[in-house]
Each structure stands twice: as C-alpha cells, then as structure tokens.
C-alpha cells in the first residue's frame, strides 16, 4: 500500500535499532498523532535495507481485513503469505480489533522468522496492559503530536512569532497539514477528535455514567495547566459548582485521562535526592490545540501555555520530567535522559529584577554542574548569567536538545 508522507525522523531514529530484532514493536500514543503513517515509514526503511522484502500489512480499519477477527484467523492469514527462506515483516494497524491478538503475536515471535510492528487504539490497548499481554516480549515506542520543528516543516512556515502563535492555538496533530489554519475550521476538527477521545477512549471503556462530570474535570485542568493540584482541591472546586464527586473518583478519572495520553501527570522531586513527592502534581496536555478546543486561547494564558510547550518539547525529545523542589523554591522542570540532566525555568518576559531574581535565583541555588536554562519570549536575551543560559522560546522549540 503506497502512502505519501513527511518523514518523522525523530521516531525513525528510535525505531531503527530494533529493526530485525526479536522483539515486538508497539507504537502507542494519543489518537491521531500519526502512528499509522509511521508504520508506512518503517516499511520504507526496510525496503531501503533489503531488496523485495516480504512485508505483510493488515489494517483492521479497512474492510478487506474484516474476516480477521481472532488470533487463529490472524495466524492463518499471515502463514498463508509467508515466503520460504525469507524473513517476514508483519505490520498490524489497530490490532486491538483482533480477539486474543496476544496469542498470535506470542506465537509469531517465538517462531523467530517474523519481525513484528503494530499499533493499537487507546480505547482497548492501554500501555499498562501490554506488559500483561506480551510479558516482556515487546517494546513500546511512544508517538506524540508534531513538535514545533515538525509543525513548521509540515505547514511550510517560517520560524517566527506568527508561526508560534499558530502552533500554540492549533497544536500539532498531523492532519492539520490538510486544513487551512483558521479558527473555525481547525476547532471544528479538534472538537470532533476531543469527543472521540472522551467518549470512546474514556467514557465507553471505563463505563463512566456521568460524562458531564468528566468534562468539567477536563475544563478545570485546561484552566489550571502548570498549577499544583490535588484530587481534594478538584473535588472542592466541583462542589462549589454544585457537583458532588469524591477525591477517589477524581483520581480514577485522572488516571483514565493519562492512560489515553490526553494529559500527562508530572510529580515533584527533591533536588539533590531521589525523593518523589506523592501529592501536589501538575498536569499538562499532550496537544495544546485540543486544550484550546475546550478552553480557547487567551493572551493572559501565555505563561501556562509556554510551560506546556516546553514540557511537551522535552517529552518528544525523550526526557523524563519532574518538577523540582528545593526547600520552598520550585524548579519548573528537572529533565533526565540517560546520564544527562538539565534544569529549566520558563518565563514569559524577564523585564524586571524581581522576575530575574526568581527565575535565575532558583537555579543558582542548585549546586551541581548540570546544565541550567531559562526559556522566555524575550527577543533580546542576555545569553548567559553566572553560567545559566537564557534562550528565546522560538530557538528552544526549533532545536532538539
């Protein structure tokens, strides 16, 4: 099946080391972030390496594969397309639509003659369940919406303030390449995606009886991006709106939203130690466009939006992220990747000594030698201040660190 696409090299680079390895590759992520198209890109990588490889592609959203409904039928279909003395590359899109698919995958993987790649909808294939289904035989590759650099490339835009505003307002779902960047058009599309995630991936899957309460919870999160929240605080707020819901139910709802990759929970960690604090987390959205389809972007939201942008940029770059706690002081993000660590403060404009003291001062209290960065929208950044680098948000987002 021939598809045209714009390569997403950051993911292809991560996938390349696992091609031909005896492990099942599972692409996971929020709906509509481009998992299916990455399968086509992997197929082309394999075609570049081998002459006429035996590739089997199954897409359960296509009617031609409707007859494959269970693991036995899946095995029969694949075995019927095997070529003697030739490795078979198996690609299965929306694998959760096949009953007991894990039995077929385990059988194929045990055979040793197959290289297997698949995607699954979060409605029926959550990341935590894969470990149970495939018991150590798989690797998850997390796929996110477009980075800012990808957004510019997909939409053929220059790196400037106007492009940044479009990215902030409309987010990075790949299908935006086909749509004009106009509020009415984009938000109609995003509202439909939001409804699909809400009702298929969360309400239906978890048998939530009152979807309106879940929607109010999401609205609260959209209005409190980057703020410390607790289940009790959310419960108290909803009670003030005459909505009675216990903190334990709120915790469940938050878990469902995170499992669908709609939001990310960020915990606090002690600077200089490994302690993780179990209360007062922050929540950020996978896609700002979806957030703004719920709560439209306003100029006074810029501080929390910048935090969300920086957070998702670091997630896309493969960092693990916590909020740093140093006594009563807070570091916006502590980012770790392998042996690498860096500290990041995010500010809108550093236009007075008080703001400068807060953003740089907190970082100066950290006595280790890891990189420290202040990200802001200042056009004339000062460069370095006592070893701390200040960088404009446009430069930061268009660079993979």
Highest mean predicted confidence (pLDDT) among 128-132, 275-279, 328-332: 328-332
Q: What is the mean pLDDT of residues 319-330?
A: 93
Q: Which of 149, 156, 184, 150 is nearest to 169 (CA)?
A: 184
Q: Which CATH superfamily is domain 9-142 in?
A: P-loop containing nucleotide triphosphate hydrolases (3.40.50.300)
181-220: burial string, b at 16+ Cβ within 10 Å, e else: eeeeebbebbeebbeebbebbbbebeebeeeebbebbbeb
Chain centroid, CA 15 distance in Å: 16
What average pLDDT score do residues 274-278 get?
A: 74
Ordered by start, the domain boundaries in the chain are 9-142, 148-397
Length of the chain: 401
Rounded to a whole number of angstroms, the CA Rg of the chain reads 23
| Mean pLDDT taken over the chain | 91
Q: Is the pLDDT of residue 1 over 60?
A: no
Residue 133 is predicted with a pLDDT of 74
d(CA 82, CA 64): 19
Could you tell me the pLDDT band of residue 76, with boundaries at 50, 70 and 90?
very high
State both tokens at 291. Answer: 């957030």
Q: Indicate if the pLDDT at residue 276 is higher than 80.
A: no
Q: Which residues contact 76 (CB under 8 A, 6 or more apart)?
A: none
DSSP 99: B
Structure confidence at residue 205 (pLDDT): 86
Residues 198-220 pLDDT 10s: 998 899 889 999 999 999 999 99
Please report, rounded to a whole number, the percentage of residues in the chain having pLDDT higher than 70: 95
Per-residue pLDDT tens digits for 359-371: 899 999 998 999 9
37 in Cβ contact with 3 (< 8 Å)? yes
Cα 123 from Cα 256, distance rounded (Å): 10
Please state which of the ranges 127-131, 186-190, 299-303 shows the lowest mean pLDDT: 127-131
Residue 156, by phi and psi: left (phi above 0), alpha (psi -120 to 50) or beta?
Answer: left
Q: What is the mean pLDDT of residues 381-386?
A: 75
The pLDDT score that the predictor gives to residue 226 is 92
pLDDT band at 400 (very low <50, low <70, confident <90, very high): low
* Segment 80-137, tens digit of pLDDT: 999 988 999 999 998 888 998 989 999 999 999 999 999 976 645 555 566 677 777 8
Write down the pTM of the prediction: 0.93
């Amino acid at each position: 099946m021939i598809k045209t696409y714009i390569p997403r090299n950051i993911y292809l680079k991560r996938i390349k080391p696992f091609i031909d390895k005896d492990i099942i590759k599972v692409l996971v992520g929020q709906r509509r972030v481009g998992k299916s198209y990455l399968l086509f890109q992997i197929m082309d990588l394999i075609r570049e390496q081998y002459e006429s490889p035996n590739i089997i592609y199954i897409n359960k959203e296509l009617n031609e594969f409707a007859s494959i409904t269970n693991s036995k039928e899946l095995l029969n279909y694949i075995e019927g397309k095997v070529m003697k003395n030739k490795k078979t590359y198996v690609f299965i899109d929306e694998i959760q639509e096949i009953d007991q698919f894990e039995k077929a995958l385990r059988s194929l993987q045990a055979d040793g003659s197959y290289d297997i790649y698949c995607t699954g909808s979060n409605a029926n294939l959550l990341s935590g369940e894969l470990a149970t289904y495939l018991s150590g035989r798989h690797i998850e590759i997390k796929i996110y919406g477009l980075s800012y650099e990808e957004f510019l490339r997909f939409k053929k835009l220059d790196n400037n303030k106007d492009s940044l505003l479009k990215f902030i307002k409309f987010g990075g779902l790949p299908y935006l390449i086909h749509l004009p960047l106009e509020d009415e058009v984009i938000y109609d599309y995003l509202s439909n995606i939001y409804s699909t995630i809400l009702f298929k991936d969360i309400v239906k899957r978890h048998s939530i009886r009152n979807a309106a309460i879940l929607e109010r919870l999401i609205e609260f999160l959209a209005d409190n991006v980057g703020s410390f929240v607790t289940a009790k605080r959310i419960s108290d707020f909803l009670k003030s709106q005459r909505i009675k819901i216990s903190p334990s139910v709120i915790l469940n709802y938050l878990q469902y939203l995170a499992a669908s990759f709609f939001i990310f929970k960020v915990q606090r960690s002690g600077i200089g130690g490994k302690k993780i604090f179990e209360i007062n987390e922050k929540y950020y959205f996978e896609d700002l466009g979806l957030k703004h389809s719920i709560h439209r972007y306003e100029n006074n939201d810029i501080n929390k939006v910048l935090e969300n942008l920086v957070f998702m940029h670091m997630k896309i770059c493969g960092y693990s992220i916590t909020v740093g706690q140093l006594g009563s002081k807070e570091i916006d993000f502590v980012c770790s990747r392998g042996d690498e660590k860096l500290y990041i403060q995010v500010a809108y404009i550093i236009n007075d000594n008080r703001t400068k003291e807060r953003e740089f001062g907190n970082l100066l209290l950290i006595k280790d030698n890891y990189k420290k960065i202040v990200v802001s929208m200042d056009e004339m950044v000062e460069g370095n201040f006592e070893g701390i680098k200040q960088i404009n948000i446009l430069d930061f987002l268009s660079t993979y660190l």
